[in-house]
Amino acid sequence: MIDDLEISNALLPVGFCDVLPSDAETEARGLQKMMNIFANYGYDRVNPPLLEFEQSLLAHAGKGIAEQTFRIMDPETRYMMGLRADITPQIARIAATRLINSPRPLRLSYAGLCIWVKGARHSAARQILQTGIELIGIDNAQADAEVILVTAQALQALGIQAFSFDLMMPQLVQAIIGPENFTSAQLGALMRALDRKDVAAVKYYGGDYSDILTAMLQAAGPADQAIGALRKLDFPAEAQRLFERLLASVKAVRNQDPDIELTIDPVEFRGWDYHTGLCISVYADGISGEVGRGGRYLSNNQEPACGLTLRPDILLQRAERPLSKSRVFVPYDCHRIEELSKLHEEGYVTLMSCAVEGDPEEEAHHLNCQYIYKKGKLFPL
């Protein structure tokens, strides 16, 4: 337990923090750069609220995040509200209600905070900054690719050059094994083995599918190599269809940006509960765990959709920091405020003296200024 004395000081709940100067500025500017990229590609920004009724917040795609969602009673209606743990389900709601009549495909972007009940595996953070895009109303490989291509542009805008997209098709395994061929105990053991990527256990529990599943496990890796290995396998019809769609999505990305690093993990399925096609995890060099995730799903009106959510709070550890501006101390001498606008346009930050008396140079040093402003001119300190 934490004692009262400690709590009354600067202690914040685990997973929450104060973002201090320079980091807060880096975050705001980075977010703005990403949102500009999204806007350039026609993704229009929407801002859903932090709280809404749990009945809408946790419906459809929101179901998966119910355990991570704090609830609060609305004193007006006595209905429970949820503090959002994910923005994507809100975007799906908006697309299916307020923007139901907007032309399709509908391109939406968002940026905002989410709160989680518990931290995740790679980070204790419970306040999460999300930004992302949703492409709603179209289901084809080019749409899958667009989401990846635009996200790659956003990462580059942050100055992040080394990143990769890991592509998955969670339905692929089920389409191969035909779950009806196993008892539920066998199926459970097999799925756990696949999840752990335990080749020996997959061989043991895989029955007639041991060979193909093992080959798929071993095919995981860079896209071209994985595709080469997967092409040799004899998939049943539905699995072949899923594989070909994966191929088409990879090809569509390559056509427009051959330099994007793509990997394929053909047996991954865990954590992709409401997804209906291609799933995507985003990784950046030097950052452990995902920096983004998304994929194809059905939006609230059963509309096909594909989206990707990035975590700028994590990414910005690696993002370019804005150059800090030179600081100009402006002594108290009844200058007009509009004089300073010119200095701002030239890229300076001005600190106006609040002291009528005292030594201006000393105060300027104290406030880490590089220049002092006197009679309309800058003097270096």
49 is an interface residue for a copy of itself by CB under 8 A: yes
Chosen residue from 64, 72, 181, 271 binding a copy of itself by CB under 8 A? 72
Length of the chain as a residue count: 381
Separation of alpha carbons 367 and 365, rounded Å: 5
361 is an interface residue for a copy of itself by CB under 8 A: no
Chosen residue from 63, 98, 231, 342 binding a copy of itself by CB under 8 A? 98
63 is an interface residue for a copy of itself by CB under 8 A: no
55 is an interface residue for a copy of itself by CB under 8 A: yes
Separation of alpha carbons 121 and 191, rounded Å: 21
- Please answer whether residues 298 and 275 qualify as being in contact, where contact means their C-beta atoms are separated by less than 8 angstroms: no
Rank residues 79 and 379 by Cβ distance to a copy of itself and give the closer one: 79
DSSP H or E stretch at residue 108: strand 106-115
Token duo for residue 323: 């150059």
Query: Alpha carbon of 66 to those of 61, 85, 197: distances in Å?
Result: 10, 8, 28
Q: How far is the CB of 170 from a copy of itself (least distance, A)?
A: 22
Region from 49-57, 215-223, 231-239, 275-283 binding a copy of itself, contact rule CB under 8 A: 49-57
Chosen residue from 62, 105, 312, 360 binding a copy of itself by CB under 8 A? 105
Beta bridge partners of residue 295, listed in sequence order: 279, 307
Side chain identity, residue 40: N
Region from 198-206, 270-278, 291-299, 364-372 binding a copy of itself, contact rule CB under 8 A: 364-372
Residues 141-170 touching a copy of itself, rule: CB under 8 A, are 142-143, 146, 149, 152-153
Rank residues 36 and 225 by Cβ distance to a copy of itself and give the closer one: 36
Rank residues 224 and 257 by Cβ distance to a copy of itself and give the closer one: 257
Separation of alpha carbons 236 and 179, rounded Å: 13
225 is an interface residue for a copy of itself by CB under 8 A: no
22 is an interface residue for a copy of itself by CB under 8 A: yes
- Please answer whether residues 133 and 144 qualify as being in contact, where contact means their C-beta atoms are separated by less than 8 angstroms: no
Rank residues 107 and 311 by Cβ distance to a copy of itself and give the closer one: 107
Of the candidates 319, 292, 323, the one whose C-alpha atom is nearest the C-alpha of residue 129 is 292
368 is an interface residue for a copy of itself by CB under 8 A: yes
188 is an interface residue for a copy of itself by CB under 8 A: no
Beta bridge partners of residue 280, listed in sequence order: 167, 294
Rank residues 122 and 196 by Cβ distance to a copy of itself and give the closer one: 122
Q: How far is the CB of 261 from a copy of itself (least distance, A)?
A: 15
Q: How far is the CB of 169 from a copy of itself (least distance, A)?
A: 19
Chosen residue from 197, 203, 327, 374 binding a copy of itself by CB under 8 A? 327
The CA angle 291-295-298, to the nearest 5 degrees, is 140
359 is an interface residue for a copy of itself by CB under 8 A: no
The CA angle 123-48-296, to the nearest 5 degrees, is 65
16 is an interface residue for a copy of itself by CB under 8 A: yes
Rank residues 18 and 180 by Cβ distance to a copy of itself and give the closer one: 18
- Measured N-to-C along each axis, helices 141-157 and 237-256 cross at an angle, to the nearest 10 degrees, of 40
Cα dihedral angle (57, 62, 67, 69), rounded to 10 degrees? -40
HSE-up (13 A, CA, CB side) for residue 344: 8
367 is an interface residue for a copy of itself by CB under 8 A: yes
